[in-house]
């Protein structure tokens, strides 16, 4: 079986780290994988680092430097699908969904198109979460809706996201299921360490510090939990994108500032 993964890549984030774990495992299990990657010159070295890591794990990468709405991308993707003889095209994020759907609709429909939904328009979700009451049927919505007409099946990374796509009328309920990102831990638990154990009872959140991630709700939960668990603390691992100050103010107002620890970016998440 041949699977072609398709995505616009800007660096190494959540989905890219997932690919670096998943694709080599698929290859080891006998599933041949290739990657159609689109990047811009402005994205810097991180996307190149991702390509090198994929190649080092034995994954063939079709690297295209291009603007995301270059019409030639659809032709390049079509050629790769045909020459690689991919039976499954697995698209990730809105750009890849659109390119793959265009190929399926106009050039070649002899493959199964699978899409993974990692999110929705960040500007909309930042203001509304996954509520569909204020859904705007603008450019993003129209592209997503049209693309999903030609996607054979979709997976969502959370139940909330799956319900959003259904309630917004973007995907039929029988054509999308929830498939969580997995994480492999070693067989033995990590030992407690003074370097990494910041409280006997600690809650760890990992990700960019932006409203979309929901840190504010966990800080509110910590203020409630602290009444029953006096030593509980929230440890936040991730880069600040301008939202940290608001979280600090929230923690101060709830009288739990000493219970919220900002570690910043770290590669030692497991420890």
Divide the 271 residues of the chain into consecutive groups of 10 and give the mean pLDDT of each group: 95 85 93 96 82 95 94 96 97 97 96 96 86 92 98 96 97 96 63 72 91 91 95 94 94 96 84 72
pLDDT at 267: 74
Pairing of strands 88-92, 60-65: unpaired
Contact call for residues 169 and 141 (beta carbons, < 8 A): no
Contact call for residues 27 and 58 (beta carbons, < 8 A): yes
Q: How many CB atoms lie within 10 A of CB 50?
A: 24
User: SS in 3 state form for 15-68?
Assistant: HHHHHHHHHHHHHHCCCEEEEEEEECHHHCHHHHHHHHHHHHCCCEEEEEECCC
β partners of residue 2: 32
Helix axes 45-56, 14-28, angle to 10 degrees: 10
pLDDT at 118: 93
Residue 128, helix vs strand vs coil:
helix
pLDDT at 95: 97
pLDDT at 186: 59
Strands (E), 99-148: 112-117
pLDDT at 210: 86
- Residue 258 CA to residue 261 CA, distance in Å, equals 7
């Amino acid at each position: 079986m041949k699977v072609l993964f398709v995505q616009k890549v800007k660096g190494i984030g959540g989905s890219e780290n997932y690919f670096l774990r998943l694709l080599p495992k698929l290859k080891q299990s006998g599933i041949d994988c290739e990657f159609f990657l689109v990047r811009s010159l402005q994205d810097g070295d991180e996307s190149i680092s991702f390509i090198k890591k994929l190649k080092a794990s034995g994954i063939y990468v079709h690297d295209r430097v291009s603007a995301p709405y270059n019409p030639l991308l659809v032709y390049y993707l079509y050629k790769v699908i045909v020459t690689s003889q991919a039976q499954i095209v697995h698209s990730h994020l809105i750009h890849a969904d659109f390119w793959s759907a265009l190929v399926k609709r106009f050039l070649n429909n002899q493959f199964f198109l699978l899409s993974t939904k990692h999110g929705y328009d960040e500007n909309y979700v930042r203001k509304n979460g996954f509520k569909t009451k204020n859904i705007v049927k603008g450019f993003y919505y129209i592209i997503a809706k049209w693309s999903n007409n030609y996607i054979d099946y979709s997976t969502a990374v959370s139940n909330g996201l799956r319900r959003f796509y259904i309630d917004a009328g973007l995907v039929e309920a029988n054509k999308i299921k929830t498939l969580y990102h997995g994480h492999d831990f070693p067989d033995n638990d990590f030992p407690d360490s003074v370097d990494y154990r910041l409280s006997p009872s600690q809650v760890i959140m990992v990700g960019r510090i932006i409203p979309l991630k929901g840190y504010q709700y966990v800080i509110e939960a910590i203020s409630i939990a602290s009444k029953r668990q006096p030593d509980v603390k929230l440890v936040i691992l991730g880069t600040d994108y301008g939202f940290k100050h608001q979280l600090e103010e929230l923690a101060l107002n709830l009288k739990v500032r000493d219970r919220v620890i900002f570690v910043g970016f770290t590669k030692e998440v497991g420890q």
